[in-house]
C-alpha cells in the first residue's frame, strides 16, 4: 500500500513537472522565436563573423556564470532560511573558498582574453588591400575618395523632407537612404581610411562589422571582404551636431564585373539607393545646362537644393532661424548675387554653413543660387528690388573663385 502511494506521488510529481515545462515553453516561445532579431547580426565579412562568434562565446560564459551564481544564491536562501529553524554558523573566513572565488574568475577572464585579442588583431590588419577608399565625415554627409582611381563624390541623405516632417508616411529605409552610395567589389579586401573635415563622426555599418570614428586631423582605418552582393546600410553613431541623425551610410557591394563597369564610367552611372532592398534608379546623364533657359536651371537647382540644403533650410526655404536662416525674402537671396556666391564658396565662419567650393561644380553652385533667388516669391522685383530673381551663371562663380583665390571647382 505504501509503495502504491509512493508511485502515485511520483507520477503526480512528474505530471506537475511536465505541466510546468509546457507552461514555461509557452511563455518563452515568443522570446525564442525573436531571439535572432534581438541578437546582433552575423554580417557578411570575416571580421563580422569573428565578432559575432566572440559575442556568442562571451554571452554563453556569462549565462553559465550567472545561472551558477544565482542558483547557489537561491539554493542557499531557501535551504538555510530562518523559517526552517536553521541556526547560523559562527565562523570567520575560509581560505579555500577565498582562493576558489579568486582563481576561478581569473581563469575565466584569461580564457576570454585570447579569442578577444585574436579578433582585435585581425580587425587591425589592413595590409594587402585590393581597394582603398578614404571616407571623410562632413556635417552632415560623407565624402568618398577612391585612392586607386580618379573617383570622388559626396553622399547625402535622400529621404524626402515630407517624410521627415511627418507629412507623408515614412518609407522602409527612412533616414537610411542616400543619393549616391559607396560602391565596392565583393571578394576583395577593401581598406577604409577615416577622417573628418569638421567634428568627430563615426562610420558604422553593422553588416560589415565596422564602427570607426572619423576624427579631424587623424586617419583611422578598417577593412572588409564582403562575401555577397547587396546593399548594406548604416549611419553616423557619434553625436556630431544638430543634424546628426541625417548622416546615413549606404554601401553597395557589386560583382567584380559590375564594379569594373562602374569604374569605367568614373562612378557617374551609379545606382541610387532608394526604398526597398535592392530597389534602384539610374542617375540621368550629366549634360551642360543652358542658363538662358530658366525652367531647366530651376529644375537643376531644385535637385541640388534637395540634396544639399533641404535638411537645414527646408523645402519651403523657411529654414530654422536663428540657426538656419530663411531664404524667403531675406537679404541673402534678394541682395547682390556676389555675396550669395561668396557664402556658398567660403561658408560662414563659426556656423553650420560649410563651404561648397570643393563639393559642387560652378554649374551646380550657379544653378542652386539661381533657384534660391527665384523660388518662394523671391523673384518679385516690385517687392524686393533690382536684385530679385537674378540669374547666376557658372562664369560668375568661376570669376568669384579667382577673386577669392580658390582653386578650380569640381567638374
Residue whose entry in the numeric block shows the C-alpha cell 537644393: 305
Per-residue pLDDT, averaged over 216-244, amounts to 94
pLDDT for position 91 = 75
* CA 180 – CA 192 distance, rounded (Å): 17
Say yes or no: 234 and 317 in one domain: no
| DSSP classification of residue 83 | G
> What's this model's pTM, rounded to 2 decimal places?
0.76
Say yes or no: 197 and 234 in one domain: yes
285 inside domain: no
392 inside domain: yes
Say yes or no: 382 and 274 in one domain: no
- How many other CB atoms sit within 10 Å of the CB of residue 389? 18
* CA 119 – CA 50 distance, rounded (Å): 6
- How many other CB atoms sit within 10 Å of the CB of residue 155? 23
Element (H, E) at 119: helix 95-124
Domain end, chosen from 106, 124, 142, is at: 124
pLDDT band at 409 (very low <50, low <70, confident <90, very high): low
Nearest by Cα to 182 from 153, 221, 141, 215: 153
Say yes or no: 148 and 193 in one domain: yes
Cβ 378 vs Cβ 389: under 8 Å: yes
Name which residue leads in pLDDT, 343 or 267: 343
% of the chain exceeding 70 in pLDDT: 85
Say yes or no: 260 and 231 in one domain: yes
Name which residue leads in pLDDT, 24 or 122: 122
Say yes or no: 137 and 116 in one domain: no
Report the mean per-residue pLDDT for the chain: 85
Per-residue pLDDT, averaged over 38-64, amounts to 93
Please classify residue 302 by burial: count the beta carbons closer than 10 Å to its beta carbon, then call 0-12 exposed, 13-18 middle and 19+ buried: middle
pLDDT band at 38 (very low <50, low <70, confident <90, very high): confident
The CATH number given to whatever domain includes residue 43 is: 1.10.287.90
6 inside domain: no
329 inside domain: yes
pLDDT for position 233 = 97
Domain end, chosen from 104, 124, 144, is at: 124
Element (H, E) at 144: strand 141-146
The CATH number given to whatever domain includes residue 303 is: 1.10.760.10
286 inside domain: no
On the question of pLDDT at 308 being above 90, the answer is no
247 inside domain: yes
Residue whose entry in the numeric block shows the C-alpha cell 541625417: 246
219 inside domain: yes
Say yes or no: 137 and 267 in one domain: yes
Cα 110 to Cα 168, 399, 403: the distances in Å are 54, 66, 65
Per-residue pLDDT, averaged over 263-276, amounts to 59
Cα 200 to Cα 28, 123, 154, 249: the distances in Å are 42, 21, 18, 16
Here the cell at position 62 is 556569462
Say yes or no: 263 and 340 in one domain: no
| Count of structural domains, the chain | 3
**For residue 140, how far is the Cα from the chain centroid?**
11
pLDDT for position 34 = 52
411 inside domain: no
Cβ neighbours of residue 401 under 8 Å, at least 6 residues apart? 345, 357, 362, 407, 408, 409
pLDDT tens-digit profile of 344-359? 999 888 777 888 988 8
Segments forming the whole domain that contains residue 172 = 131-280
pLDDT for position 283 = 40
Q: Is 36 helix (H, G, I), strand (E, B) or coil?
A: helix
pLDDT for position 88 = 80
Per-residue pLDDT, averaged over 371-380, amounts to 94
Say yes or no: 150 and 268 in one domain: yes
Write the DSSP assignment of 231-282 as a string of letters.
Answer: EEEEEE-S--STTGGG-EEEEEEE-HHHHHHHHHTTT-SPEEE-SSSS-EEE
pLDDT for position 3 = 44
| DSSP classification of residue 90 | -
Residue-wise over 5-37: b if at least 16 C-beta within 10 A, else e? eeeeeeeeeeeeeeeeeeeeeeeeeeeeeeeee
On the question of pLDDT at 132 being above 80, the answer is yes
pLDDT for position 6 = 43
pLDDT band at 298 (very low <50, low <70, confident <90, very high): very high
Say yes or no: 151 and 190 in one domain: yes
Say yes or no: 153 and 106 in one domain: no
pLDDT band at 39 (very low <50, low <70, confident <90, very high): confident
Amino acid at each position: 500500500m505504501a509503495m502504491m502511494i509512493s508511485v502515485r506521488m511520483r507520477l503526480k510529481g512528474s505530471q506537475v513537472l511536465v505541466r510546468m515545462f509546457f507552461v514555461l515553453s509557452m511563455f518563452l516561445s515568443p522570446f525564442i522565436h525573436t531571439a535572432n532579431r534581438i541578437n546582433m547580426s552575423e554580417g557578411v565579412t570575416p571580421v563580422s563573423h569573428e565578432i559575432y562568434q566572440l559575442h556568442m562565446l562571451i554571452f554563453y560564459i556569462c549565462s553559465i556564470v550567472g545561472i551558477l551564481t544565482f542558483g547557489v544564491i537561491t539554493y542557499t536562501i531557501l535551504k538555510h532560511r530562518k523559517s526552517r529553524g536553521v541556526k547560523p554558523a559562527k565562523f570567520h573566513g575560509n581560505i579555500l573558498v577565498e582562493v576558489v572565488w579568486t582563481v576561478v574568475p581569473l581563469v575565466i577572464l584569461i580564457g576570454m582574453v585570447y579569442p578577444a585579442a585574436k579578433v582585435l588583431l585581425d580587425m587591425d590588419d589592413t595590409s594587402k588591400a585590393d581597394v582603398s577608399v578614404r571616407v571623410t565625415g562632413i556635417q552632415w554627409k560623407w565624402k568618398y575618395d577612391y585612392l586607386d582611381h580618379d573617383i570622388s563624390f559626396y553622399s547625402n541623405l535622400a529621404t524626402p523632407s515630407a517624410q521627415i516632417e511627418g507629412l507623408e508616411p515614412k518609407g522602409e529605409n527612412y533616414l537610411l537612404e542616400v543619393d549616391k552610395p559607396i560602391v565596392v567589389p565583393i571578394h576583395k579586401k577593401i581598406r577604409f581610411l577615416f577622417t573628418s573635415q569638421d567634428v568627430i563622426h563615426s562610420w558604422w555599418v553593422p553588416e560589415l562589422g565596422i564602427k570607426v570614428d572619423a576624427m579631424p586631423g587623424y586617419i583611422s582605418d578598417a577593412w572588409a571582404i564582403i562575401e555577397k552582393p547587396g546593399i548594406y546600410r548604416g549611419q553616423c553613431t557619434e553625436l556630431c551636431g544638430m543634424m546628426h541623425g541625417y548622416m546615413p551610410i549606404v554601401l553597395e557591394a557589386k560583382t567584380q564585373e559590375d564594379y569594373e563597369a562602374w569604374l569605367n564610367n568614373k562612378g557617374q552611372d551609379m545606382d541610387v539607393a532608394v526604398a526597398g532592398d535592392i530597389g534602384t534608379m539610374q542617375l540621368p546623364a550629366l549634360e551642360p545646362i543652358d542658363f538662358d533657359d530658366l525652367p531647366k536651371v530651376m529644375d537643376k537647382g531644385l535637385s541640388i537644393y534637395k540634396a544639399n540644403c533641404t535638411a537645414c533650410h527646408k523645402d519651403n526655404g523657411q529654414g530654422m532661424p536663428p540657426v538656419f536662416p530663411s531664404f524667403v525674402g531675406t537679404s541673402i537671396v534678394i541682395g547682390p548675387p556676389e555675396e550669395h556666391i561668396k557664402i556658398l564658396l567660403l561658408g560662414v565662419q563659426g556656423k553650420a554653413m560649410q563651404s561648397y567650393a570643393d563639393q559642387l561644380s560652378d554649374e551646380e553652385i550657379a544653378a542652386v543660387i539661381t533657384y534660391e533667388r527665384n523660388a518662394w516669391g523671391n523673384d518679385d522685383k516690385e517687392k524686393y528690388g533690382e536684385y530679385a530673381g537674378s540669374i547666376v551663371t557658372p562664369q560668375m562663380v568661376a570669376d568669384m573663385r579667382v577673386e577669392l583665390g580658390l582653386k578650380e571647382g569640381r567638374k
